[in-house]
A = this chain, B = another copy of it.
Amino acid sequence: MKIAVAGSGALGSGFGARLYQAEYDVTLIDSWEPQVHAVKKQGLNIVINGDNFNLDIPIYHSTEIPENAIYDMVFLFPKSMQLSSVMDYMAPHIDDNTIIVCTMNGLKHERVLHKYVKESQIVRGVTTWTAGIESPGHTHLLGSGPVEVGALVDEAKPQVEKVVTVLNNARLNGVVSQDLHQSIWKKICVNGTANALTAVLECNLATLNESDYAQTLIYKLTQEIVHVATVDDVHLNVDEVFEYLIDLNDKVGPHYPSMYQDLIVNNRKTEIDYINGAVAKLGKEHHIAAPVNQFITDLVHAKESQRGAQ
């Protein structure tokens, strides 16, 4: 089985590393020249849950994928805003049997994917694994908890089973989600509160939790997200989700979420349009007001403009 990891930054190269260690025929693909160059030259230097590895893992720049290469399974790990361009360069290397695995943060990525493949080819999911990139070719991966995957349509169920097997062989703890949409929306609650607020307030999760006012902000954002989630027939209890979010922030207190890292540390544009922005947009489509999700989306964009984020 030929596997591609399209978008091999922090999380992508982490998943790629575990697949490689499980002796899958895996290839990393990325369009960030320094990363491609470094991994080609010195291999991937990666710390997985504290253990250091140097892996001579194959990597292609997105422009140099061999013309006749067709992959059986493609794991997608680009930033949300790059998904279309990644699918554009992967399209010639996908056929009707290729399984597309999308465990990216954000909502409704399947709308983009469905332009390229049948719904039965899409395996959607969420992951609690986190990763970071210290410098080109040097990354880390942290996690143990499940990678929950599921089918958007019944015809995708056999593909989900295949992905779970691959994930488990690679010690990435794959499980079939009991309720895929609920899993996705619960992750949106996590990202739509922790990511946006730590980027706006420039703090970590522990500091966020310390303020009653910040907790009120978390509650208000969650309240709207839970309301909009009903359009996917997902019914969450706002108080239960809120408790879960506060507990989670306590547990991973010193962590700075990816949006903070993107905007504050690296001065990069954020995924806000695919998280809070997507909630507001989906709400609007279904006549559910989500004013504070829209407000924080615009606030993060204003901050991107002012910092000249790239």
Give chain A's interface residues, CB within 8 Å of chain B: 197, 200-201, 203, 207-208, 210-214, 216-217, 220, 291-292, 294-296, 298-299, 301-306
Which B residue's beta carbon lies closest to that of A305?
A: B211
A29 to B108, CA, bound (A): 61
Tell me the number of copies of this protein.
2
Q: Is the interface of A mostly helix, strand, loop or mixed?
A: helix
Would you list 18 pairs from A and B whose C-beta atoms are within 8 A, ordered by A residue? A197-B302, A201-B303, A203-B306, A210-B305, A210-B306, A211-B302, A211-B305, A211-B306, A213-B302, A213-B305, A214-B298, A217-B298, A217-B302, A220-B294, A220-B295, A291-B291, A295-B295, A295-B296
A210 to B216, CA, bound (A): 30
Q: Residues of B contacting A302 with CB < 8 Å? A: 197, 201, 208, 211, 213-214, 217
Q: Residues of B contacting A207 with CB < 8 Å? A: 306
The list of the 8 closest CB pairs from A to B, nearest first, reads A213-B301, A211-B305, A213-B302, A214-B302, A213-B298, A291-B291, A292-B295, A211-B302
In the complex, the answer to whether B220 meets A305 with C-beta atoms within 8 Å is no
Which B residue's beta carbon lies closest to that of A223?
A: B291
Q: Residues of B contacting A304 with CB < 8 Å? A: 213
Closest beta carbon of chain B to A196's beta carbon, Å: 11
Closest beta carbon of chain B to A139's beta carbon, Å: 30
A21 to B294, CA, bound (A): 51
- Picked from B208, B214, B217, B299, the residue with its CB within 8 Å of the CB of A217 is B299
In the complex, the answer to whether B217 meets A306 with C-beta atoms within 8 Å is no
Which B residue's beta carbon lies closest to that of A299?
A: B217
Q: Residues of B contacting A296 with CB < 8 Å? A: 295
